[in-house]
Amino acid sequence: MGISAFAHLLPPAAPASSTSGCAGVLDISTAAPLHEAWREALKGIGRTHPNPPVGCVIVDDDGTIIARGFHEKAGERHAEIKALDALAPGAARGKTVVVTLEPCTHHGRTPPCVDRLLDEGVSRVVVGAIDPNPRVHQQGVRRLRAAGVDVVIAEGADALRCQALIAPFATTQQLARPYVVLKTATSLDGKVATRTGSSRGITGPASRALVHALRDAVDAVVVGADTVLADDPALTVRDLPGRDPLRVILDRHARVPRSARVFADDNVCVLGLASISDVLKELHRRGLLAVLVEAGPRLAAAFLQADVVDELWWFHAPLLVGNDGLSAVDFGQVDHIQQAPRFDVVTRAEVGNDGLTVLGGGLWQRPTLSVRAG
Ligand code: AOF
Ligand code: ZN
């Protein structure tokens, strides 16, 4: 099984993740601080676009954490700088800096972190993930090493978490589009609504809370006009303290009335674009890292067929809807099971009385919806 970019939101899966097996390759003195740095980074998730969330801790010779920092927002200090600023002048000399992302070497909105690390005289840097940004990629490591700093590229479960954390950022860098999480919630027989269109309350309160946590962690929620017209969702974060993501309404024929609940405030944008690829181009232009598509059957099929779904979150509730109900993905039919699109399971979780299966295939294999040749 792989790892979700939003794995931190999931209740622990049973049985315990098999990735813990490789933690042994990492010296324990770097593994625990890297986990702490990752926890720091999570504080910025959903708030940093177009930058990645990044966390940092600085440790003493005996492994004690003496400073922490995370990147809060684009334009503000990078994680390493925040952690260094938390120390008295000169206190970082000879210490180990543990950071979830390779320190930067470029002049962006802020000066290069590598320069500051060298000025401070740190002796060791532990890096959770290499920066996929071509302006930085590998150069942070190279420059630190060239200056005599001991650089450790982490391995094992915590390094994997650091990579998963920046999967949305890596997607923007490599594919010039946001990372797409597609969510659907069905009955046991795969239906999202009864034949009369009744759909509220299929999944329980725990699933609803998890979806709100996911909304808090992404930069935008995307829905189609069909869903707004059928369900009139608010698409806000109500079950936990958090912030509401941008609501993106795909409405080519201007069918959604202004009285819909999605227009409750102006944190909303309506796109009338024809193709999924144009929609993603526009969201990328706005600098979004990750979007959650809360799609009805047609939009779900369109995203899957466009091969742009990075994770498919499928909630299944313990109830039956029957033959005439609406299927979750409107993609036609297959005659032979061998031709059916089959997904890779990333992880599974129990969410209250519901089940959640996250499909994808690790970080880069996407769950596509092409009918296989028989
Ligand atoms: C780090 N630490 O905390 C972050 C990094 O425009 P800037 O100056 O904010 O630079 C943004 C780029 O820096 C971003 O694209 C990514 O490559 C890197 N982000 N690097 O050393 C951090 N957020
Ligand atoms: Zn930096």
The mean predicted confidence, pLDDT, of the chain is 90
Residue nearest to atom 3 of ligand 1 (CA): 78
150 and 298 fall within a common domain: no
Q: Tell me how many domains the chain contains.
A: 2
109 and 205 fall within a common domain: no
Residue 187: DSSP 8-state: -
- CATH number at 330 reads 3.40.430.10
pTM above 0.75? yes
Residue 80 · residue 97 · CB < 8 Å: yes
Burial label, 218 (beta-carbon count in 10 A; 0-12, 13-18, 19+): buried
**What is the DSSP pairing of strand 290-294 with strand 150-153?**
unpaired
- Asked whether residue 248 carries a pLDDT value surpassing 80, the answer given is yes
To test ligand 1's pocket by mutation, which of 104, 114, 162 has the most ligand atoms within 8 angstroms of CB? 104
Write the CA distances from 103 to 97, 100, 127, 346, integer angstroms.
Answer: 10, 9, 8, 29
Residue 60 · residue 91 · CB < 8 Å: no
The rounded distance, in Å, linking the Cα atoms of 60 and 86 is: 14
Residue nearest to atom 12 of ligand 1 (CA): 51
Q: Is residue 182 part of a domain?
A: yes
141 and 31 fall within a common domain: yes
Q: Which of 24-33, 230-239, 346-355 has the lowest mean pLDDT?
A: 24-33
To test ligand 1's pocket by mutation, which of 38, 51, 54, 135 has the most ligand atoms within 8 angstroms of CB? 51
Which residues form ligand 1's pocket by a CB distance below 6 Å? 51-52, 54, 71, 74, 78-80, 101, 103-104, 108-110, 113, 131, 133, 136
Q: Which domain holds residue 135?
A: 19-155
Rounded mean pLDDT of 212-226?
A: 95
- Asked whether residue 39 carries a pLDDT value surpassing 80, the answer given is yes
| Ligand 1 atom at minimal distance to the Cα of residue 79 | 3
The rounded distance, in Å, linking the Cα atoms of 140 and 104 is: 6
Condensed to tens digits (0 to 9), the pLDDT of residues 106-125 reads: 999 999 999 999 999 999 99
- Asked whether residue 15 carries a pLDDT value surpassing 70, the answer given is no
| Ligand 1 atom at minimal distance to the Cα of residue 74 | 9
| Ligand 1 atom at minimal distance to the Cα of residue 107 | 8
Catalytic residue among 80, 102, 120, 311: 80
275 and 342 fall within a common domain: yes
Condensed to tens digits (0 to 9), the pLDDT of residues 47-101 reads: 999 999 999 999 998 989 999 999 999 999 999 999 999 999 999 999 999 999 9
User: How high is the pLDDT of residue 366?
Assistant: 61
Residue 80: active-site member: yes
131 and 238 fall within a common domain: no
Q: Nearest bound ligand to CA 74?
A: 1
Rg (CA), the chain: 22
- CATH number at 31 reads 3.40.140.10
210 and 70 fall within a common domain: no
Local confidence band at 214 (pLDDT 50, 70, 90 cut-offs): very high
